[in-house]
Structure 1
Amino acid sequence: MTQTSKPGRRRKPVVRDPWYVRARKHTAIATGVASLGVAAVASLGTSSVTVADATHVSHTTSESAPAGSGDIVTEALDGAAPVRTSRSSAERAPLPSAVEAEAMIEGSLYAQKTVPVRADASEDSPVLATVAKGKTLQVTGETRGGWTQVVHNDLPRWVATKLVDEEEPKLAPEEGTLSTAPCGIGSGVESGLQADTVRVYRAVCARFPQITSYGGLAGRGEHATGHSLDIMVGGQLGWDIAAFLQANRVELGVSYLIYEQRIWTVQRGGEGWRGMSDRGGATANHYDHVHVTTFGNAGSL
């Protein structure tokens, strides 16, 4: 018996688009997805702003909310957005006035090193200023842990307690600042002196206030031209002053020093202090004063 085959359905051949057509389709699809994504993000952003604005309005009184206020973004574009004030600023304690700050002061302490002045009693608090070693800090008497409250620029600030003390620290020759303020014992000594010699006089006067006698313009040698100054002192204090002038020779324009029958010059500084011949007396041999000669106007202070 012969079977006849049933007619079957033939699969249509798949006809693929050329590669350049497929590429255009993929590009179009990608562009459409990207556009939808941007629109969704924009919609989400607008919704979140509107919700945030609604939340803000719900926390304010009806008197503070303008009538008919709408979307904050639309208002901003129209120039009609209300001014938003920070609630935290209203809760912050007001800063004291200069008079109130003055009333807080109970005494003063000396900076034992360079002292960072901070906004709050914490190492993480920002440093607002620094106070040089030997300077005084006005204190309120309030402490917090390892911190002491001070009044700096008429405002309450904080410094580390370990960096301040009632005793004035002794400054090394190279430490501290050089004063250019007029000397408290008078400016008569400055008459006829060169600019560098005036710098020396003022700096020594500020650093060593116990010195009350100086020799300025005179009719001999470099004193006659105002290049030299005699600082009337004896003993170890004279060497302290000499070391101070050596350490600050550039700023003060120092050329050379003489003390206790020894001389030190900038030109031969590497040789240290050198001996001098005997001139016959304590004053002539500079045992009762430090003699300093300057370049005239070479200092950088």
Structure 2
Amino acid sequence: MTHARKPGSRRKPVVRDPWYVRARRHGGIAAGVASLGVAAVATLGSSPATVATVATAADVAPASQGDIVTEALDGSAPARASRSSVERAPLPSSVKAEARVEGTMYAQKTVPVRADSDPDSPVLATIGKGKTVQVTGTTRGGWTEIIHNDLSRWVATKLIDDSEPKLGPTEGTISQAPCARGSSVESGLQPDTVRVYRAVCARFPQVASYGGVAGRGEHATGHSLDIMVRGQLGWEIAAFLQANRVALGVDYLIYEQRIWTVQRGGEGWRGMSDRGGDTANHYDHVHVTTVGSAGTL
């Protein structure tokens, strides 16, 4: 029997619980279902049919697949390698590399350093003329094994030799390292004159003596340097200074009673009047005068 609603009456509104109350209620239900699931598994595990089913599954699984939780708890878990521990190529050992070196040889010109003893092998570096290379004593055809940056590399045998090559005026590097003979000569010299001293000292170590600041002319201001040498070696030094005049800030040179200046460089070496002796006529030294501080090194 249906009761008719009285005229003028209103339906009572439905009051819903807030969302967080409903969430707690559903969470509780889910937890209860999970507990029932665990209990059900435990109950099924006690039946013969379930035991047989589990055993069959274990037989199918790989023997090495263990229970990692149990293993971690009892300390029997094997060490498992991470991706970061994947085997990598060993780093070069300078100690092992040095043990293979049997001697050194000189590059007779610019030498390409290759990965293998093959002209088609990629060039990994170059060694400048006059530089030393470390050789292992191993050769293969026309190739010699060297140690370069602690690694085995190969160079053409014909490009290296036991003898140090003579560098041309424009070959090799211009050193600005302090002279092995000492820095006392540099006292009072202009920056360009110091550049000349260091460059000549490194390139021509056979020079035994230099003249720096003195109480006469441009020597007094530190613009000039005397390189004490005779004969052909003096001309080689002069050619080196001419070729590198911009880098070293050279202004002019005098040797064996002849003079060369940057301003009149196109005229070459010009004769000078006799001043009455070997030293006065510059037969026992190359005289260099510099601009002062114009060198580009």
Same-fold call, TM cutoff 0.5: yes
1:264-275 pair list within 5 angstroms: 264-275=260-271
Deviation per residue, 1:241-287 (Å, 9 max, x gap): 11111111111111100001110000000000011111111101101
Q: Is 1:300 matched with 2:293?
A: no
Q: CA deviation at 1:95?
A: 4.6
Q: Segments of 4+ in structure 1 off by > 3 A?
A: 61-64, 82-86
Deviation per residue, 1:111-162 (Å, 9 max, x gap): 0000111222222222222111011111111112211111112222111111
Q: CA deviation at 1:174?
A: 1.2
Sort the Cα spacing of 1:83 and 1:288 in 2 relative to 1 into closer, same or farther, 3 A. Answer: same
Q: CA deviation at 1:62?
A: 9.7
Instruction: Measure the CA separation in 2 of the matches of 1:233 and 1:224.
Output: 21
Letter in 1 for 2:259: I
Larger CA deviation: 111-120 vs 260-269: 111-120
Counterpart selection for 1:223 from 193, 200, 219 = 219
Counterpart selection for 1:166 from 154, 162, 165 = 162
* Paired position in structure 1 for 2:8: none
* Paired position in structure 2 for 1:234: 230
1:1-301 pair list within 5 angstroms: 94-301=90-297
* Residues 111, 135 of structure 1: 8 Å contact kept: yes
Larger CA deviation: 148-157 vs 251-260: 148-157
Sort the Cα spacing of 1:221 and 1:63 in 2 relative to 1 into closer, same or farther, 3 A. Answer: farther
2:189 aligns to what SS in structure 1? coil
Larger Rg computed on CA atoms: 2
Sort the Cα spacing of 1:63 and 1:203 in 2 relative to 1 into closer, same or farther, 3 A. Answer: farther
* Residues 105, 139 of structure 1: 8 Å contact kept: yes
Instruction: Measure the CA separation in 1 of the matches of 2:122 and 2:183.
Output: 41
What is the aligned length?
Answer: 221
Sort the Cα spacing of 1:151 and 1:223 in 2 relative to 1 into closer, same or farther, 3 A. Answer: same
Letter in 2 for 1:218: A
Sort the Cα spacing of 1:188 and 1:63 in 2 relative to 1 into closer, same or farther, 3 A. Answer: farther
Instruction: Measure the CA separation in 2 of the matches of 1:197 and 1:189.
Output: 10
* Residues 227, 294 of structure 1: 8 Å contact kept: yes
User: TM-score with structure 2 length normalisation?
Assistant: 0.70
Instruction: Measure the CA separation in 1 of the matches of 2:84 and 2:176.
Output: 50
User: TM-score with structure 1 length normalisation?
Assistant: 0.69
Letter in 2 for 1:230: D
What percent of counterpart residues are identical? 76
Gaps of 5+ in 1: 1-60, 68-81
Provide the alpha-carbon RMSD of the alignment. Answer: 2.2
1:103 aligns to what SS in structure 2? helix
* Residues 95, 155 of structure 1: 8 Å contact kept: no
Sort the Cα spacing of 1:234 and 1:84 in 2 relative to 1 into closer, same or farther, 3 A. Answer: closer
Letter in 2 for 1:126: P
Larger CA deviation: 145-154 vs 224-233: 145-154
Instruction: Measure the CA separation in 2 of the matches of 1:136 and 1:280.
Output: 45
* Residues 110, 166 of structure 1: 8 Å contact kept: yes
Gaps of 5+ in 2: 1-61, 69-81
Instruction: Measure the CA separation in 1 of the matches of 2:185 and 2:104.
Output: 32
